[in-house]
Amino acid sequence: MTIGIYKATLKHDTGTTTLRVVSLSGKQGAIQQITTAEGCPECAIVGIVEIFNDTRQQDMKATTIGEAKSRARAKSLEKKHKDESIFIIYCNRTEHFYIDTDGLIRLWEKSHGYYVNGVYTAED
């Protein structure tokens, strides 16, 4: 069983919307999750593509806190991440630092801080 992450575009009466879906049952499972959660017919899904996070995750993985801070600061200064928090999270299980816009902390992770527009804020 592998985790698949999909980006789906739905068309509805007032326009279109984009969703991100995590599925353990492949593309068809993601479609079923969307139709159930959104209460829409399958024909409302106008596009669904798998997001390959392996390459993104490799770009956002660091072995030292200095390297992680450098990458997070650079990411926070990008125009598309203006006024958005870029979190630095250490994972005890993999012994790596991860840089991401998702600050969700799991039991085996510890937040070190975050950058917003190039300004670092440490977490205690």
Q: List the one residue out of 36, 38, 18 whose CA is nearest residue 28.
A: 36
Q: Which residues, listed in sequence order, are joined to residue 91 by a DSSP beta bridge?
A: 96, 109
Span 13-55, pLDDT tens digits: 888 888 888 888 888 989 999 999 999 999 999 999 888 654 4
Span 82-106, pLDDT tens digits: 888 888 888 887 888 888 877 777 6
Q: What is the pTM of this model?
A: 0.49
H helix or E strand, kind and range, residue 65: helix 65-76
| Same domain flag for 45 and 84 | no
115 SS3 class: strand
| Same domain flag for 117 and 63 | yes
How many structural domains comprise the chain? 2
Residue span of the structural domain in which 36 resides: 4-51
Residue 93 tokens read as 């299980």
